Amino acid sequence: MDSLQRKRLQQRLLIASTGLVLVVVLVVNTFRPSEEEREELEFTEAVLSHEPGKLPPAQRERMREQWNRLPAESRSRVFRAVASARLAEFRELSKGLSKEDRQKRVRKRLDEMRQHRAELSPEQRRELRERLSKNETKEIVTHVLEFYQDELSAQERAELDPLIHEWLYHMDSLVGRR
């Protein structure tokens, strides 16, 4: 191989390697999640890492602030991801239960909801009323009801309807209509 052929080979290798580097950079940037997607994923994982209703108050407030910083589209995607994961957990837990056992659980949860509402102090009622009046809460309620309607089977909705009705009654009573 003479020097001219060697030089041409080096040029072709340089062009090929440069092209390869550009393709790799393009592929990496195409499939790398955006900052918004990373925030959504981190928030979703943080919510799912805790048992529902067991988040310490300080951490709950931090999560609420982080939620409010997310764009509306992101909040919708996060809500759907969390709700889908919780629904899968619910289905797994109730898979082996008889219809009677599921009904007992629903009745027990109804009693707990009613007892909790009865035990609320006037200050807690005021705080809940304020929170329920915010647009972010209305958005969450809308997401819950849409998810409930779209993702649950007719049988699941029939079994859980008493809980949804109690939840809506509870919210309605807190905002002062009853």
Helix 35-48 vs helix 57-69: crossing angle, to nearest 10:
150
Is there a single domain that holds both residue 166 and residue 112?
yes
Is there a single domain that holds both residue 127 and residue 176?
yes
Q: Which residues of 29-43 are buried (b: 16+ CB within 10 A; e: fewer)?
A: eeeeeeeeeebbeeb
The pTM for the full model equals 0.63
Taking residues 108-119, report their average pLDDT: 90
Domain that holds residue 69: 33-96
% of the chain surpassing 70 pLDDT: 94
State how many domains the chain has: 2
- What would the pLDDT profile of 141-156 be if each residue is shown by its tens digit? 888 888 888 888 898 8
- What would the pLDDT profile of 6-60 be if each residue is shown by its tens digit? 888 888 887 888 888 777 777 766 666 567 778 888 888 888 888 877 778 888 8
